[in-house]
Amino acid sequence: MAHYLVTGGAGFIGSNFVRTLVNDTDHTATVLDKLTYAGRRESLDGLPTDRVDLVVGDICDADLVDRLVARSDVVVHFAAESHNDNSLNDPSPFIDTNLVGTFTLLEAVRKHDARFHHISTDEVYGDLELDDPERFHETTPYNPSSPYSSTKAGSDLLVRAWVRSFGVRATISNCSNNYGPRQHVEKFIPRQITNLIDGVHPKLYGAGLNVRDWIHVDDHNSAVLQIIDSGRIGETYLIGADGEMNNKSVVEMILRLMGHPTDAYEHVNDRPGHDLRYAIDSTKLRTELGWKPRYTAFEDGLAATIDWYRTNEAWWRPMKEATEAKYAKTGQ
């Protein structure tokens, strides 16, 4: 039995990770989360308080981080400013949290010799052409496009340097686009589901031909646990579930599953610098660690996600109005 420090554990992927940890292992966890606009205390509702506690605080607070890392065996680092559109409007918190925050954690795990796992994104590799037969793999050169992805790329490089220079026991995973319960309504899939519940048309940026490689959040988290258990120190693992689909097809599927005509969407302003396509080759994770995804039918996972938003309106309603007001300013 180990004690985990889960940064960003009140966010989308982190809160689902804590649930997986409680359900599938004997470990205990402390969540360190600043509860920014993206963090929700409610995302931890129902978890056993003798196994999970929440500390509200900032990963840039070196004293607090030092105290929490000192009593942890494993640190799993999800905390980040995570939304590309926000990073285009105001990059400043992305520099603080994604870069300075990761540096602060690395200094503490170095001091206390804790095992560190860094959660990152496929966006660090930039984008691919629609007809490119290549997919991203562990040796693809970094080429990030946005303030968000460039700060994630920088944080990955810090981790690599702390492994090589100081012998920190760290692994990194770069995952593709996640979907599932408890994702903020600013993100593509929950935004369209909650728009439809509100009688508003889904919004497609530009022509809607950009491709994302979708993975269920529980599959992302099962891979993270496996990497922590048996991944090789200093290694990077790409996590993906062969879920490539363009945005227009995703919107059409949501419309069909929710009982609307499949052309009942509208085109809105495109995202500046919008990455065209992401695609993950997860052969290393599958062959070296024997991982495989459980949610292989995207449509089934999407239908379950729609059900979750339909039955958990109290969770997302408080965020909806402010999110749409932000999008209205950029014509999105």
| Nearer to ligand NAD (CB atom), residue 26 or residue 170 | 170
Residue of 18, 72, 74, 9 lying closest to 48 (CA atoms): 18
Containing H/E element for 53? strand 52-56
| Nearer to ligand NAD (CB atom), residue 78 or residue 309 | 78
| Nearer to ligand TDX (CB atom), residue 80 or residue 108 | 80
Give the whole-angstrom CA distance, residue 7 versus residue 77: 5
| Nearer to ligand NAD (CB atom), residue 115 or residue 212 | 212
Determine whether 123 is an active site residue.
yes
324 binds, among ligand TDX, ligand NAD, none (CB under 5 to 8 A by kind): none
Question: Applying CB under 6 A, which residues contact ligand TDX?
Answer: 82-84, 121, 123, 177, 187-188, 191, 203-205, 210, 212, 247, 271
Determine whether 278 is an active site residue.
no
Catalytic residue among 123, 156, 186, 213: 123
Q: Quick check: 81 and 58 in contact, CB under 8 A?
A: no
101 binds, among ligand TDX, ligand NAD, none (CB under 5 to 8 A by kind): ligand NAD
Closest chain position to ligand NAD (CB): 11
Determine whether 148 is an active site residue.
yes
36 binds, among ligand TDX, ligand NAD, none (CB under 5 to 8 A by kind): ligand NAD
Give the whole-angstrom CA distance, residue 291 versus residue 277: 24
Least distance to ligand NAD, CB of residue 78, Å: 4
Residue of 180, 186, 204 lying closest to 84 (CA atoms): 186
| Nearer to ligand NAD (CB atom), residue 11 or residue 243 | 11
DSSP strands (E only) in the chain: 3-7, 28-33, 52-56, 74-77, 115-121, 170-175, 178-179, 203-205, 211-213, 215-216, 236-239, 244-246, 266-268
Question: Applying CB under 6 A, which residues contact ligand NAD?
Answer: 7-8, 10-14, 32-36, 38-39, 58-60, 78-82, 97, 101, 119, 121, 152, 175, 177-178, 184
Catalytic residue among 33, 58, 81, 122: 122
DSSP conformation letters of 21-47: HHHH-S-EEEEEE---TT--GGGGTTS
Pair of tokens at residue 328? 């209205």
Q: Which residues are catalytic?
A: 122-123, 148
